[in-house]
Structure 1
Amino acid sequence: MSQDEDGSQQELEIRQINSDDNTKSLSLGDPEFTPLKAFLKNEAADFHRRNVAKSYVAVDESHRVRGYITLICSQVQIAQAHHRPEGNKGPIAYKSLPSIKVARLATDKRYQGSGLGRSLLDLALAIALGDIMPAVGCRFLVVDAKKPSVGFYLKYGFTPIQENYEDEDSPVLFLDLHPFV
C-alpha cells in the first residue's frame, strides 16, 4: 500500500483493533493531530471493548498501526442545515436524522497520500451500507472535521452542514447514504 522508511513496500491489513497492536509508532506530523494519537494510544482499545466506539486499524506485518478510524452512533441536526436531504417523497421533516459518526480518522504521515485514509472511509461506508442500514435506521456518515482535513472529506463527497463552514474550527460535514442504496 505504501513504502516504509527503508523504501520497501508494506502490505497493510485493516481490521478491528486489538491489544497486540503497536499504537505508539503512529506519527501524524501536525501537532493539531496529537489528540488523535493520544486517543489511539490511551483509549481506543478500551472504548472498543466496552462498545463505546469501534476502532479499525491499518496495521503492517509487525502490528504497527499506520492508520485508524473510529466509528460511533450519532445524529445529524438538519433543522438549520443549508442543504436539507430529501427522501423518496420530498424534503424530510425531522430536525435530526440517525448517522454513523467518524469520531476519529488518522493516517501515519508516511502513508498520507497513499489512499489509506480513503480505504478507511470506504470501510466505514461498507459497514454503514452492509451491516447497519439493513438492520437499523441510518441516513448519514458525519464528521466534525479538523480544518486541515476538510478538503479530504469534501473530495470524498461529504457536504458541509453550514454554508460558512470555512469560519468554523471543526466544521460538521455529512455524506448522505440514501443515494448508495
Structure 2
Amino acid sequence: MPPNSKFADVDFSAIPVERVTPVLAELGQGFRCARGEFVTYWRKGRIQREINARISQCWILQCEDSLAGYITLIADKLEIDRPILIDEDVRYQTFPAIKIGLLAADKRAKGAGRLLVEWAIEYVAGEIAPTIGVRFLTVDAMYDADLTPHYDASGFYEKFGFKFVNSEESLPPSTPYRTMYLDLKPLIDLLDSSD
C-alpha cells in the first residue's frame, strides 16, 4: 500500500464495527472498492433503502470520517444437497441461516474485509444464535469469468472455513456466484462454555 494511502498503517482491529445510522450513511466520499457496483450501492442509497425496508442491516468500519468497508446481514435459509447433521440425528436439508449479503472494502483498506467477516461470524454466533434458532452463516461468493484474471471470492471465504453448498461445485459456475456456508456450532459451543 503506498505510504500516502488514505488507510496507510491503520490497525482495523482497533476500530469498532458500527451499525449504520443515517449520519454514518453520509460517509463514502472517495470509497474505492475493486467491485464498482458495491461503490454504487452505497452512493446511490441502495443499502439505506434495504435498511429502511427492513430486509437487511448494515455495519461499517470507518476511519477518520472515511468509509473503509461495509457488510450487510440478511435472513436466509441454507438448502443443501446432502444431509449434513446425520451424526446429530437431524436429517433436514434446509436450515435457518444468516447471510452475508454484501461485503465491500476500500481496496486501500488492507484487512478491512477480513475483519468485517470475522466480526460477522462472532456477532451471529454470540448475539443472534443465542436468541433464535440459527446455526449457519451463508454467502453467495461472487464469481466473474469475464474479468482477466477471473474474479472468484470463494477462496477468501474458504479461509474462514466456509464450504460449498453444492458438493459437486465446478468451475465455472452457471451463476455469477457460488453459495457457501459456515457451521457456527463449534464457536457457539465455545462461547456457551465460557459463560
Q: TM-score, normalised by structure 1?
A: 0.83
Distance 2:113 2:131 in 1: 27
Distance 2:6 2:132 in 1: 46
Q: Which amino acid aligns with 1:17?
A: V
Deviations 1:90-144 (A, max 9, x none): 4x32231000000000111112xx3221210111112211111111010211000
Residue 140 of structure 1 is matched in structure 2 by 136
Distance 1:35 1:6 in 2: 21
Match of 1:116 among 112, 115, 124: 112
Gaps of 5+ in 1: none
Residue 96 of structure 1 is matched in structure 2 by 94
Between the two proteins, the alignment pairs up a number of residues equal to 170
Q: Give percent identity, aligned residues only.
A: 25
Residue 10 of structure 2 is matched in structure 1 by 10
Distance 2:156 2:116 in 1: 12
State the secondary structure of the residue aligned to 2:159.
helix
Q: TM-score, normalised by structure 2?
A: 0.77
State the secondary structure of the residue aligned to 1:171.
strand
The Cα RMSD (Å) is 2.2
Gaps of 5+ in 2: 144-151, 190-195
TM superposition shift of 1:88: 5.6
Matches for 1:1-181 after TM superposition, within 5 Å = 5=5, 8-10=8-10, 12-21=15-24, 22-29=27-34, 33-41=35-43, 42-62=45-65, 64-78=66-80, 80-81=81-82, 84-86=83-85, 89-90=88-89, 92-111=90-109, 114-147=110-143, 148-162=152-166, 163-168=168-173, 169-180=176-187, 181=189
Q: Is the 8 A contact 1:18 1:45 kept in 2?
A: no
Distance 1:144 1:7 in 2: 28
Q: Is the 8 A contact 1:165 1:171 kept in 2?
A: no
